[in-house]
């Protein structure tokens, strides 16, 4: 199960010639499924399933059928036809983890070809991080975020948003300390965050990542915690 911004996909293009005619480009896509966990407004951990299908070939539509036979359409990201996914709404989250098993994806390509893909969802989940501190330094020129290590998490990501504008993105990083630290911290210059977006309210979104193995290429689950600060 791959998360699209952590991997690089290879386009499979087969070109051959018969006289002066070019052969059809081979359609190919990857289908990914994993669990996302967050804390709801009542403080309970809730879960939703994430689907993502990507292709270098343009797709008209993508649907997914869950192990219980339920079928839903995925959203065409920016109407480009290359990326389809579902962004869970608040009502999509449940205190019960999504159904484990094989999910089936039907990709309808722009040239009319339809191809079925499958991907398995494991029962593994991770808890959202407990953010213990998000505060400016005594001199107010820096801001620090601290959190308790997430049990079973392999790596973390951090995104800083001001409204709908992303002002900072920290790609996946691993705590390589031996033994592993019980608490982690990241610090930033306030000016680096406000230089383009201006001052105001910022959301720090910390994501925990659980991979299938230490090759860090296939995801089983993610978790997300968000805290807000005025800078």
Give me 157's structure tokens.
């990501």
pLDDT digit string (tens) for 55-114? 999 999 999 999 999 999 999 987 889 999 998 999 999 999 899 999 999 999 999 999
pLDDT digit string (tens) for 154-188? 999 999 999 999 999 999 999 888 888 999 999 99
In the chain, what percentage of residues exceed pLDDT 70? 90
Q: Identify the architecture of domain 131-230 in CATH.
A: Sandwich (2.60)
Is the pTM above the cut of 0.85? no
Stretch (H or E) spanning 193: helix 190-197
What is the Cα 138 distance to its own chain's centre? Answer: 34
The more confidently predicted of residues 42 and 212 is 42
Average pLDDT over residues 176-201: 93
Q: Tell me if 55 sits within 8 A of 77, measured CB to CB.
A: no
Domain 4-121: top CATH class:
mainly beta
On the question of pLDDT at 6 being above 80, the answer is: no
> What is the spatial distance between Cα 216 and Cα 81, in angstroms, rounded to a whole number?
27
Amino acid 22: pLDDT: 52
């Amino acid at each position: 199960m791959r998360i699209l911004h952590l991997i690089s996909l290879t386009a499979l293009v087969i070109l051959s010639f018969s006289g002066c005619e070019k052969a059809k480009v081979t359609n190919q896509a990857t289908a990914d499924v994993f669990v996302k966990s967050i804390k709801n407004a009542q403080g309970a951990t809730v879960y939703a399933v994430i689907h993502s299908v990507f292709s270098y070939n343009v797709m008209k539509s993508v649907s997914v059928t869950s192990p219980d036979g339920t079928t839903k359409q995925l959203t065409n990201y920016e109407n480009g036809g290359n990326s389809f996914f579902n962004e869970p709404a608040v009502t999509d989250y449940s205190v019960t983890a999504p159904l484990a098993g094989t999910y089936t994806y039907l990709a309808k390509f722009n040239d009319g070809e339809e191809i079925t893909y499958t991907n398995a969802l494991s029962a593994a989940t991770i808890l959202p991080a407990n953010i213990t501190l998000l505060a400016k330094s005594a001199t107010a020129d820096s801001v620090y975020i601290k959190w308790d290590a997430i049990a079973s998490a392999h790596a973390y990501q951090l995104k800083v948003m001001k409204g709908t504008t992303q002002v900072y993105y920290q790609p996946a990083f691993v705590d390589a300390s031996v033994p592993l630290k019980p608490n982690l911290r990241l610090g930033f210059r306030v000016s680096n965050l406000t230089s383009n977006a201006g001052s105001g309210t910022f959301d720090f979104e910390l994501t925990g990542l659980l991979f299938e193995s230490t090759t860090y290429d296939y995801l089983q689950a993610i978790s997300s915690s968000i805290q807000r600060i005025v800078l």
